[in-house]
Amino acid sequence: MKIFDLKKELNAFTQEQRKKDCSIGLVPTMGALHTGHISLVKKALSENDLVVVSIFVNPTQFDKKDDLDKYPRTFEKDIELLKQVSDNIVVFAPTVDEIYGENVTSQSYEFDGLDKVMEGEFRTGHFDGVGTIVELFLRTVAPDRAYFGEKDFQQLQIIRKMAEIKNLPFQIIGCPIEREPNGLAMSSRNERLSKETREEAGFIHTTLQTAKADFGTKSAISIVDWVKSEFDQHPLFDLEYFEIADENTLTPALKIQDNQKYRAFIAVYADGVRLIDNLRLN
């Protein structure tokens, strides 16, 4: 398996592949790969001749140093896992210095307000960091298609907006959330949960499912209040936010419109680990 750590070399390689009429998929990751990532890689392999998987824990999208320090890094294991999936994968694993040099900062983006709510409200600068690194990966690889999980649905919408604003002619593809058997959305952060909390964390998805069942018969405000009270009573989880929002604008749904699509979005702390999830409501 080819592993690149320099932008210039990866870019030369992908250009050469393109000359051979080879289509390219990009799967950006921060490593600690799990079944969720592998499903993105498999989808990318099914739609492209070659797939570039980037593995880079991007410092500028973390607002807390502690969260960045504790982010799991399992490079050798990740490579072994990818080797088992296909030979048509190349890995891009740059150093922070290669990406940022001495200036480890983000660009500023105007995402039409998509970054002002939910994750953007609670994680200052997070989406500027995501935009900066994803734009750099897209420009370096110039893929036909780039794949992102819907677990980070707000991120997916923001990346679509960034591609539109920056006129990047790459297809941005959202892929369904992969879940553990109890419904917990797969995430590299799940590794940091105790066994008991991880088992109990199916509660997050179950609550979203009840919210979905009630959507349409109860008001958005009463569903939000009910979810808050469920978490108030739970000894293991601290709710950071629960929102019912329009899928496109991500603005909170005060009045439900027949022709709009809505999703429920949630962020919860468990064992000091921040977990997010979302579910389409209609």
Annotated binding site for (R)-pantoate: 61, 155
Binding-site residue numbers are 30-37, 61, 149-152, 155, 186-189
- For residue 35, which amino acid is it? T
Residues annotated within the binding site for ATP are 30-37, 149-152, 186-189
Q: Does 134 bind ligand PAF (CB under 6 A)?
A: yes
Asked if 152 touches ligand PAF (CB under 6 A), the answer is: yes
Q: Does 278 bind ligand PAF (CB under 6 A)?
A: no
Structure tokens of 239?
A: 């709710």
Question: Which strand ranges, in their side-by-side order, compose the sheet holding 24-29?
Answer: 3-4, 89-92, 50-55, 24-29, 145-149, 171-175
- CA angle at 205 for the pair 30 and 129, rounded to the nearest 5°: 30
Give the nearer residue to ligand PAF in terms of CB position, either 28 or 94. 28
Q: Which of 37, 126, 205, 234 is labelled catalytic?
A: 37
32 makes contact with ligand PAF (CB under 6 A): no
Q: Does 128 bind ligand PAF (CB under 6 A)?
A: no
Q: Measured from the CB atom, is 172 or 208 closer to ligand PAF?
A: 172
Per CB under 6 A, the list member of 10, 26, 29, 79 interacting with ligand PAF is: 29
The verdict on 200 binding ligand PAF (CB under 6 A) reads no
Interface residue with ligand PAF among 10, 24, 26, 30 (CB under 6 A) is: 30
Beta carbon of residue 28, minimum distance to ligand PAF (angstroms, whole number)? 4
Both tokens of 229, joined, read: 């009270």
Binding region for ligand PAF (CB under 6 A) out of 6-14, 23-31, 74-82, 213-221: 23-31
Nearer to ligand PAF by Cβ, of 59 and 252: the residue is: 59
Binding residues for beta-alanine: 61
CB 99 within 8 A of CB 60: no
Q: What residues from 45 to 74 belong to the interface with ligand PAF (CB under 6 A)?
A: 58, 61
Start-end of H helices in the chain: 7-19, 35-47, 65-70, 75-85, 96-100, 119-122, 126-141, 153-165, 195-200, 202-214, 220-232
Under the binding rule (CB under 6 A), the answer on residue 130 touching ligand PAF is: yes
Q: Is 37 tagged catalytic?
A: yes
Q: How many helices (H) and strands (E) would you count in the chain?
A: 11, 9
In whole angstroms, the minimum distance from the beta carbon of 67 to ligand PAF comes to 13
Cβ 241 to ligand PAF shortest distance, Å: 18
The DSSP output letter for 176 is: P
Cα-based distances in Å from 156 to 20, 174, 175, 185, 275: 30, 7, 10, 16, 17
> Which ranges constitute the DSSP H helices of 86-122?
96-100, 119-122
Query: Least distance from C-beta 167 to ligand PAF, angstroms?
Result: 20
Let me know: does 1 contact 91? Beta carbons within 8 Å. yes
Indicate which single residue of 133, 220, 250, 266 sits in contact with ligand PAF (rule: CB under 6 A). Answer: 133
Q: How many angstroms separate the first and last alpha carbons of the chain?
A: 42
Residues in contact with ligand PAF by the rule CB under 6 A:
28-30, 58, 61, 130, 133-134, 152, 155
Active site amino acids: 37
